[in-house]
Structure 1
Amino acid sequence: MKFVVTSYRLSSKEKRRFINELSFLSNDALDIVRGFASIEYILLRVGYVVYRCDGKPLFFRKKKGEKVYPTLFLPLMFKNIEIPSVITDVGAVKYILNGADVMVPGITQIRGELKKGDICLIREEKSFKVYAIGEALMNKDQILESKKGRAIKNIHYYNDKLWKIILTLLK
């Protein structure tokens, strides 16, 4: 594959270390990850690292050594996964799908506890579908009290560069 620099299966020790980094997941979700027979490390030419769990690209890092994030495939495959969600109005969707961060006025609801630095799913209010992954720039209370400002950093969204590369990894 032209996007892949290197890939290998994580050892048991590396797998345990990787799972310890998934603090944003509930215990039930962590049990699912622990149950995967193999977790593969894939370094991409663009610098991202993708983790393929039993052939499914469920996690990534922007750079080696940085924080682990879920890909959009995680909430697609495990619909009941417990990760805090930010629900946006329909008008915000087109901007977020072009890479914009989530602004306070575009947020209609927050589900779950959300602290600054937490990973969250970004959902559209009508269909409730996840269309982006973000990182909170404010606490839930700050977002609810604010009238303006950036609330969520857009990390990964539907049809971005990572999404397109991940689709090639599925073939």
Structure 2
Amino acid sequence: MFRKFNTKEDIAGQTQVKSSVQRSIRTKILEQYPALEPHIEDLLPKKSPLFLVKCLDRVNIVSVNGRYLFFNSFDGPFFPTLHVLHKYPDIMPKVQVDRGAIKFVLKAADIMCPGVTSPGGRLPDENLPCDTIVAIQAEGKEHAVAVGMLKMSVNDIKTTNKGVGILNIHFLNDGLWKAIRAM
């Protein structure tokens, strides 16, 4: 999604949202990530203005105090940026890819089932349904390297062990990561 994202060319504009819209966004984010409840005031303070950065391809980025925190596409679910995920690593389920998959994940490739079912990979114990947002860890690394969405359930990934299992949405050194680092 953000492989070739460029802040000068891809941002169409930004608008400060009304307090009612800000409450709505905050509520949706808390519904998706209940573990953020104790930290929500740090991330999305009620008194600070919230901006929606409109990008091409119908992507919206939630920005507070000049920091990009969450994004969504076509009014779909909110995804945390990797900076938020690194600060609050336990807000979502984790999937681990083996060492062989790391270089492909960092080049925007979707995660294949064998990359998470091999000895270096790891899937959650519970059966997560399709379209669940997950943090993608790398074998031997401390922080998440990507944010993804399950294309099939965890049980299907384990049994099929073939094809694309997780869509790679946002990864280290993509355009959004670089835009945040430049801020």
Same fold (TM over 0.5): yes
Indicate if the aligned counterparts of 2:136 and 2:147 stay in contact, CA closer than 8 A.
Answer: yes
Q: Structure 1, residues 62-105: CA drift from partner, whole Å, max 9, x if none?
A: 45x333211111112223x3201110001101111111111111
Is 1:158 matched up with 2:172? Answer: yes
- Give the match for residue 123 of structure 1: 137
2:109 aligned residue (81, 100, 114) = 100
C-alpha change, 1:130 and 1:102, in structure 2 (3 Å) is same
Q: Secondary structure at the match of 1:130?
A: coil
Q: Structure 1, residues 131-154: CA drift from partner, whole Å, max 9, x if none?
A: 111000111111222221211011
CA distance in 2, matches of 1:127, 1:2: 32
Query: Please, what TM-score do these two structures have when normalized by structure 1?
Result: 0.84
- Give the match for residue 68 of structure 2: 57
C-alpha change, 1:76 and 1:70, in structure 2 (3 Å) is same
Q: Which residues of 2 match residues 42-53 of structure 1 at below 5 A? A: 42-45=53-56, 47-53=58-64
C-alpha change, 1:82 and 1:66, in structure 2 (3 Å) is closer
What runs of 5+ residues in structure 1 fail to find an aligned partner? none
Give the percent of matched residue pairs that are identical in Structure 1 and Structure 2: 27
Query: Please, what TM-score do these two structures have when normalized by structure 2?
Result: 0.79
Q: Which moved more, 1:53-62 or 1:135-144?
A: 53-62
Deviation at 1:54, TM superposition (A): 3.8
CA distance in 2, matches of 1:33, 1:6: 25
- Give the match for residue 32 of structure 1: 39
Is 1:85 matched up with 2:91? Answer: no
- Give the match for residue 81 of structure 2: 71
Q: CA RMSD in A?
A: 2.2
Q: Which has the higher helix share?
A: 2
- Higher RCO (CA-CA < 8 Å; seq separation 6+): 2
Deviation at 1:47, TM superposition (A): 4.6
Q: Secondary structure at the match of 1:111?
A: coil
| Count of residues paired in the alignment | 166
Q: Structure 1, residues 7-53: CA drift from partner, whole Å, max 9, x if none?
A: 23332210122123323312x40442355323221123565321123
Q: Secondary structure at the match of 2:114?
A: helix
Q: Which has the higher strand share?
A: 1
